[in-house]
Amino acid sequence: MPTIEELLDFLASRGIPDEWQPAETIESGGGTIPKTSSKGLVRSSTNEIIEVGAFARIMAQYAMRDRAAVRAASTLGGLALDLASSAHKALWDVVNWRIQTGRLYIPHKYVISGLSVSAGTGRSLSIAAGEAVHGGYRRYYDSRPNAIAVPMNPNSYAVSYVLYLDNNGNPYLVEGQTAPEGGLALARITVPAGDTGTTFQGTITDLRTFGNPTLPPVFSRTVSLPNAFRDTTYGVYLHLESAGLGGDVSLVVVSKTRNAFAVEHRGTADDVVVRWMTVYMGVL
């Protein structure tokens, strides 16, 4: 722990005047009291010795010492808060700007032929015969009339679903605009407001992605960054977390902008999951 003199020297270095001026002795009637670190002359603002009793002089010096200590503590406390604020900002920059992380899913699923979706009987949908690559295998499916029923929509707004096949070829409808991970999207089904009749009155939009096993398609995904960088000099690091069947994994970062980057999967493995990290070393 620093002494009072060290604190006063520090305050002087910060441009704060020293109001405590030590002397060799303190006058006390017919004798003297040796100087210690807590004793000194009591002076006025004009540097004149103030004639007070010996005990009062000592108490005044204690008061001046305590005042200096309080001022020193205040200055040191302010510096500590400044350092803490700077450290917090630097940590925030690292967590939110310099380093950003996330998860990316890239499938390798496509239709070779067929598998179109059409209206069936009543509220059902039919799936034509066809062939597809998904789940790591090339699969052929017979036609499936009335494969799945479309829910009614009593709401005052339209509802969209995606019809997809899982990796075992089972058909499902999921509300939303995209198939879930592991799903081969075939069509978007839009159910209009108030469609509660026995016959489906909505629309069917084709979502099939076509490809040829001889020259497999390349699948890409764009990652949007939570915080935009100042420029595109950041690095992108990819870590393969898992991959399904079907072959090899080949990932390439093909483009970068300040707030996004794109990754291509040039291999044939399906259901690839990647953990990504971006690192920016430039000036924020």
Task: Strands of 90-234 (E only): list them.
Answer: 99-106, 110-114, 117-119, 124-127, 130-134, 137-141, 144-149, 159-165, 171-175, 184-191, 203-206, 219-224
pLDDT tens digits in sequence order for the chain, 284 residues long: 565 566 666 666 766 555 544 444 444 444 444 444 444 454 555 655 555 555 555 555 555 565 666 666 667 776 776 666 666 555 555 555 688 999 999 999 999 999 999 999 999 999 999 999 999 899 999 999 999 999 999 999 999 999 999 999 999 999 999 999 999 999 999 999 999 999 999 999 999 999 999 888 999 999 999 999 989 999 999 999 999 877 899 999 999 999 999 999 999 999 999 999 999 887 66
CA distance 202 to 190: 5
The encoded tokens of residue 172 equal 């499902």
The encoded tokens of residue 81 equal 């808060």
The encoded tokens of residue 274 equal 């990647």
Give residue 241's identity as a one-letter amino acid code.
Answer: E
